[in-house]
Amino acid sequence: MGQPDWYSRNLRRLFFDMHLPDWTQPGQSGGDQHDLRGIATRFDPDHLIAEFVRARINVAVIFAKCQYGNFYYNTQIGHKHTGLGDLDFLGEMVDRAHRHNIRVLGYYSNMWDTQVAREHPEWMAEEADGSYSYNRWPTLSLLSPYRELVHAHLREMFSLYDLDGVWSDILSDWPTFDRYTRERYEREMGEAMPRSPQAPGWLRLVRWQQDILYEYLEGCYNLVKSIKPEAAYVVNFYGTPFALPSQGLSFKHLKHSDMGSTEGYTEWQGLLFPSYAARYMRAGVNGRPFEILTGRFVHTWDFTVRPLAQMRFEAFSVVANGGAVCIDDEPYQDGTLEPAVYDRIADVYAEIERRESVLHGAQPLRYAALYQSQKTRELDEVLNRAKPPTRMMMESNLNPSDSDLLPAWMGAFKALLEAHIPVEIVDERPESLATLSKYKVVFLSNILTLSPEEADALRAFVRDGGGLVATGATSLYDDQGGCLPNFALADLFGVDFIKRGEFTFPYLQVHDAPFTAGLSRRPLPHYMAMWEVRTNRSDVQVAATRRNPLIETSGETYYHNNQPPPDADTGEPVIVYRPYGRGRVVYCAALPESNYARLGHDPYRHLIANMLTWAAGPLPPVRADGLLNTEIVTHRLGADLIVHLVTGFPQRAVRFGLHRTSDTIEERVTLPNARLIIPQGANAVYRVPSGERLPIIRTASEASITIPFLDDWETLRLVGNFD
């Protein structure tokens, strides 16, 4: 059967986050508290649902079992929170929510369960050093008999209540070294479990436990579907590049999640993250519905209230990128609400509701594909030797290894977003590789390893007219972390690998080339060693060369702040370009994207954007000069283009030592006379939802519009011929 319509249409969601300790139970507070202190004693389902309705919420995640192991309904097989008394909280919330067409997913904590850990300490997971966690939060082994208990809980939840689904949390607290896991690993793999990423066999462990987690999710998914086929089984996919692959989740697990869902809290990963997380989840679920969690807190779960301007920015970033937004709220300990939160949610969701006619069914306009790779994530955990900051001044040798995954991927995304280049994510799964032909250009940002199938697919893509940009050590490793003698794509790049450079603070020297017009000719510093390469084809041309520093810093030989100036140009290639079949290739033996992530220096962004657009051929269809704080998202809806412009201006941050205040947006700033270049095929441009028609200015070379005042979320509908 197909997915229920609400999976994709209900975009205004609430995560009612309430891990509430029951201090009458031994173990739930380490034995230090005994008085209930009013926890969970004042829940009022009528008032709660009235507030949900006022705030225009149409999906709510309501707790069935929290991380303390307390249940919030009349369970017969677990411990119901004492503070609830006779109240069947989940049951009452489901009943009232459904009267108002609000869908309800029951929250369920998997690996963290304080109550079960106290009752069955023999089921607990073990740390690598042999210790057991019994502080905040004790972890259960999913290979112990606990798995059968989880199944019993799910059966009970769906047998008692007309739930619309379950939101399954805490599936990323791996690896575990308990006897159940050790015995199965040793039986299946014929070796002892490695205990650290530096130990031989760590990659085998990571990939083995992914299969174990897949097996666990498959069992839970099938059980729920056997009871209620239309119910949504949703996995909290805490598996973006900010998580270690050894923690568990990868894209393969999303087969057993009816929607993509991940936490997109900006206080954790910055204001770019809601947009990045939306595109990452859309790729992970191959275009199926997804949601991104944003927060009501200034810093996660601290009972502050986030400024309305910031809540709007984060939510609009998500829905403009095709997702549902799920705002995370937490009641006070007794179950009462903070009314200001629902005032803000009502404002945000009213704005989304007014635009839903152009949100439903819209598909991203595909231009650039930012390639991501699970195998590269796994190698990065083993190979990466990035240095944590130890002082306020940037060190020249930030990472002596070839792997620099997180800065590379996030710096690339930041550069493309600010340059208004439409970008989606593609990965190594066959179903994802099959979408390559929809794009103009693929960006391989230090993708260490490529299988023969991936390499062949990329060659065919370029041969058929696509563009490709690759950086750093792309294709220089096998999938076990071994360095190859040459790039697997050396024939495509037009260069051979020689060695990693000896100088840890070299410079890029840009020369005249088709994509360097307007770029600074000043030497551009590179805060780690480059890769030394030589050209291997006669059609290879050089766009930038390497300038070594005056000296290599040591304990005895140094320059001011250990950052020596550039010496003479070596003439050795750093950026090369060439035709390949009907397409174009750019290879860069440096990581401008990593440097951009760390420094924010604009020449890196201009260089990245120019390489991508030259390799692509045609420019993006919707463009703007400036507007660096505005994200431009272009979708197709039938024959029309829908263009979203989401703008946010954060306050200045305070730094002290290595600390930095979180990004905060307090003001909605309106920008006057924002000019957009649009496709020549546009016949009319309308503002949504007002319907105001904007005049199109045409010249011999371009068409453009001017938005008189650009608010924090502007939506345009372009009508015309865009084939």
DSSP string, 650-684: PPPPPEETTEEPPP-----PPEEEEEEEE-TTEEE
* pLDDT of 134: 66
Report the distance separating Cα 559 and Cα 116, nearest Å: 60
> What's residue 610's pLDDT?
98
> Amino acid identity of 208?
W
Number of other CB atoms surrounding residue 670 within 10 Å: 12
169: part of which helix (H) or strand (E)? strand 165-169
In three-state secondary structure terms, 510 is strand
Residue 525 φ/ψ region, left for φ over 0, alpha for ψ in the -120 to 50 degree band, beta for the rest = beta
Here the tokens at position 528 are: 């780690």
| DSSP summary character for residue 120 | -
- pLDDT at residue number 288: 96
Q: Exposed, middle or buried by CB within 10 Å (0-12, 13-18, 19+), for 448? A: buried
Q: Name, in order, each residue with C-beta under 8 angstroms of 558's C-beta and a sequence gap of 6 or more.
A: 551, 564
Are residues 608 and 415 in contact, defined by beta-carbon separation less than 8 angstroms?
Answer: yes
- What's the sign of the alpha-carbon dihedral 301, 304, 306, 308? positive
For 437, the token pair is 């032909």
In three-state secondary structure terms, 315 is helix
DSSP string computed for 48-74: HHHHHHHTT--EEEEEEE-TT-EESS-
Dihedral Cα 697, 699, 703, 708, nearest 10 deg: -30
Question: Strands, E, within 582-712: which ranges?
Answer: 583-588, 623-624, 630-637, 640-647, 655-656, 659-660, 671-678, 682-688, 693-694, 697-698, 703-710
pLDDT along the chain (723 residues), means of 10: 89 97 85 86 98 98 97 97 98 98 98 94 93 81 98 98 98 95 97 95 97 98 98 95 95 97 95 97 96 96 96 98 98 98 98 98 97 97 88 82 96 98 98 97 98 98 98 98 98 98 96 96 97 98 98 88 92 98 98 96 98 97 95 97 97 85 93 96 97 97 96 98 88
Report yes or no: 235 and 249 within 8 Å, Cβ to Cβ: yes
Determine the pLDDT at residue 239. Answer: 85
Question: Scanning the structure block, which residue is given the tokens 């269809």?
Answer: 621
Please tell me the distance from the alpha carbon of residue 400 to that of residue 90, in angstroms, as a whole number: 53
435, 441, 445, 450 alpha-carbon torsion, rounded to 10°? 50
The token pair at 623 is: 């463009």
CA-CA-CA-CA dihedral for 444, 449, 453, 459, to nearest 10: 40
Buried b / exposed e along 525-557 (16+ C-beta atoms within 10 A)? bbbbbbbbbebeeeebebbbbbbbbeebbeeee
Note the Cα 678 to chain centre separation in Å.
Answer: 29
Type of residue at 432: S
Domains of the chain: 6-354 (3.20.20.80), 368-500+528-544+571-616 (3.40.50.880), 623-720 (2.60.40.1180)
pTM over 0.85: yes
Three-state DSSP class for residue 387: coil
The pLDDT of residue 135? 63
Q: CA dihedral in degrees (623, 624, 628, 633; nearest 10)?
A: -40
Q: What is the 3-state secondary structure (H, E, C) of 400-420?
A: CCCCCHHHHHHHHHHHHHHCC
